[in-house]
Structure 1
Amino acid sequence: MENLKNIWKPELYRIQMEAPLPKRLVCDNCPDRPEFYGKEYHGVMGHKEATSLLEEEPNGAFLIRKGNQYNDFYTLTWRFNDKVHHYKLYYDGTHYIRDKQYETVYDLVADGLITCHMELKAHHILEMINSQTSYTDSPYVTLNRRKLNTLSQIKQNSNRSSPVTKKKETHKIEENDTLKKSAFDLTPTLEDNPLLIKYSKTHTFKVHTFKGLNWCELCANFLWGFTAQGVKCEDCGFIAHTKCSERVPNHCVPDLKKLRGVFGIDLTTLLNAHASTLPFVVRKCVNEIEARGMDSEGIYRVSGFADEIEALKMAFDKDGEAADLSVYSNINVVAGTLKLYLRLLPVPLITYEVHPKLVQAIQTKTPASLITLLRECLDSLPPAHFNCLQYMVQHLHKVSQYAEVNKMSAHNLSTVFAPTLVATPPAITDLAFEIRALQALIEYCPQIYYGNK
């Protein structure tokens, strides 16, 4: 399972989080204000006057004006990278610059600031994306290999009862032997790979505005921005940057859309989609472990069989809450699946923003001060992350109470889970502070979450 450890690349996400936020410069007295603008509209105003108003404002400050009364457009003036910029702005029921549409001016400015920030700070990553993409090593193939093999097997069994059809389709696939075998080879020969025969078709990519955080399934980089961040295949659900989609082979697998589940999806995005406060994978695995694994020696440290973990992962993706965990007699398979789910979160439970606060907090000397600072760190987490982390820490605290039997003390558990739960920059290889911080969360769990003394 090690090849699943670092699928997602968070650099673009971290850079987006550093983009300046919009700050509306207000004009209270503007009698000719259009109904589709608010107090950010300053009336007829030249660029020199607008520039002077924004000179002392922070990056992200903006106003809207009309250059002169005869213009058929409005002008957005904002401050970015310590300079003032001007853009033509239009309205036809939605606000737009060029080909992007927005419901509100705030959304337009926020997305524009991110776009400019990414072009300024992340140009080196954006340039590298198209030159360093491997379909066979992509998250799409890596996460879905077992599902694709299963679909392949189903098709293979189906074709055995229809030799005439198989012969015709095999002939078709041989015309493009080299391309299809090199791009996606699940089995040794083309003749034994009915998945290629059935699904030698192009993706139906459409520009898509994604709700929540999403990552490209080809290059593993973040889909940055607030609107039209990338494309999505209407048939199989493949998600990609627009540029990356041009490099995706013609191996659309429509049946895979039925099996796309919960692993590798941003936590907040998933819980919003399911109208839930906790991922069912976490809840079901924890309940199963607390029912029959608390006295299992080395729980969470001892690995389960990789193929059984993959099978349980597929069951969760396919059957959702109905997945039956009782059929896995080895409790380490359930524990391994839970760790896998948490490890595949694009944004770990303890986020990139909270990580440095946590490292600073753990250097506090007195327990009382440490508990206070840890609470403040946790309060900075998004609600979905706060709730799930609380559930996991409370569970790990229970596990640590059986340390004499299961040999998993708070320190041992934190050593196992720190690389999974804490978002650490790639340059950090020594996780001593992160392990100490997680150990403190587990040991002081009653005081942190319940206020016990």
Structure 2
Amino acid sequence: MAASSNSSLSGSSVSSDPEDYQPPIWKSYLYQLQQEAPRPKRIVCPKEMETRPKYYGREFHGMISREYADELLRATDGSYLIRESQRQPGTHTLALRFGPQTLNYRLFYDGKHFVAEKRFESVHDLVTDALITLYIETKAAEYIAKMTANPIYDHLGYTSLLKDKLVHRLSRGRTESRRVTFVRDERVHTFRGPHWCEYCANFMWGLIAQGVRCSDCGLNVHKQCSKLVPSDCQPDLRRIKKVFSCDLTTLVKAHNTPRPMVVDLCIREIELRGMKSEGLYRVSGFSEHIEDVRLAFDREGEKADISASAYADINIIAGALKLYLRDLPIPVITFDLYPKFIQAAKIPNAECRLEAVHEGLLQLPPAHYETLRYLMAHLKRVTTFEKDNLMNSENLGIVFGPTLMQPPEQNALTTLNDMRQQKLVVQLMIEHEDVLF
């Protein structure tokens, strides 16, 4: 087995210095095993089954015994059928022949087929994935246990690149508040076509959900290898194509800032020349000019010119800030915490209500919390100019409630019913900014 691991397939990865980069040697032993895995063979029921669920095909044999299923499958490795359980009528079992035995799995359907966490569009795909996994884990159990022992991760430049970036940032003399350590944001990912782990260089086997991908830096690894990769993460700026409509956490990680620079720059410009502007945040700027600001940020980032010489009307800058916050794929008050804040606003006791809002704030992701804290401090300063701008905390709550909070189901009726609570949550955060944050 060890000798087989030296065979290679070319692949691409990341190097801290493109001029010194040499393609890694991928370990293709597991890929070869996947190619050797048994192929699924459906055992068709010879008669039409009236009790067959509509989401199963002719592989459904009705209520037959485990022993009879074993007889039907015995001849062919990889053969399978579905039977209804005799012990628990109404439940279904996938019977699968692998090697010298028939394996039985409780089979479920919720729009997709599954026996564990992976979900498949068809039973055929589920069986294919199961046979690949069983074959590889049977033939290469020892190899899999040892495959993280000599990772290529360090040699590909991820670690040195991260260290170099960190040293460079600190040497620029930035304030301590900007020195933030972020946790790698890993999500289970389905790779189309052969893919290799960028930690250990071994093939990621299976049809779907073969490994995890970091949504920030793009690192692709086995689930088990992800536990060994350093948690510090610096997204690759080449992967961040725009500023607006980009995930908030991803954006601040990419630029190593506590908040999106759009928020900082717009608020700075508004506080410089717009705090006394009547109807600030309520009065709309020209939509085409707001779109120009959006495009400027997407093209030029922090170098975008939003000064008075470029946009004399401060409502354009205020509108751009609202647009940025409204277009976030995950709102500042995240979808999963939305119900908690709505329920908090319904609490009749003022002290308990405030405490519930505070508990919700503490559960926000760091970038979301910091963005909200900075924005609320700004909006509180806006209210100190209420005599001029006519914007008190209630008015600002009406404006920013649906901007910062959106129900996860995106239902118009839910949004309409929750408007009062949305307004109240923002109003409370402005009025009690010093206590809540």
What is the TM-score normalised by the length of structure 2?
Answer: 0.48
More relative contact order, 1 or 2 (CA 8 Å, 6+ apart): 1
What is the TM-score normalised by the length of structure 1?
Answer: 0.47
Larger Cα Rg: Structure 1 or Structure 2? Answer: 2
